[in-house]
Amino acid sequence: MSGNRTFTMIKPDAVEKGHIGGILNMIAEGGFRIVSMKLTQLTVADAQQFYAIHKERPFFGELVEFMTRGPIVAAILEKENAVEDFRTLIGATNPADAAEGTIRKKYATSIGENAVHGSDSDENAAIEGAFHFAGREQF
């Protein structure tokens, strides 16, 4: 994957509340092209692997439970400077700190149930995208 791609998930809270369309609209308005996309559900093992970097954090169990409780939308997105620009579009982890006009400001409930994921580096974007999509599914 090139440096112009990032990986996102619309998390179970936002899917449950019917916000897939609203969030995809903000992603499109933000100038991102959809490279790959599907509705899927993480297993406990998937979520533990995906968030392994946080395994010593006190909220790890809660995070895994949350991320596996229902379907998510997984997608690879493309844009110049994708990783950084998408982090700007989603806003701060805690919606109380998220800027106006960001996805988390509009759709997140709490620091845990915060509506969307965005990769934090080009390296992680490639790893996370490959976790969900085969090369032939990347358009």
Using the rule CB under 6 A, is 130 a contact of ligand GDP?
no
Rounded to 5°, the CA angle 124-6-57 comes to 45
Using the rule CB under 6 A, is 127 a contact of ligand GDP?
no
Least distance (Å) from Mg ion to the CB of residue 120?
5
Candidates 15, 42, 2, 22; CA nearest to 113 is: 15
Site string for Mg ion, 62-101 (x = CB under 5 A): ----------------------------------------
Other C-beta atoms lying within 10 Å of the C-beta of residue 68: 17
Q: What amino acid is encoded at 37 in this protein?
A: M
Near ligand GDP by CB under 6 A, which window of 27-35, 36-44, 72-80, 114-122?
114-122
SS3 135: helix
Rounded to 5°, the CA angle 133-66-39 comes to 30
30-89: contacts with ligand GDP (CB under 6 A): 54, 59, 62-63
- Where along the sequence are the contacts to ligand GDP (CB under 6 A)? 54, 59, 62-63, 93, 111-112, 114, 117, 120
Instruction: Just list the catalytic residues.
Output: 117
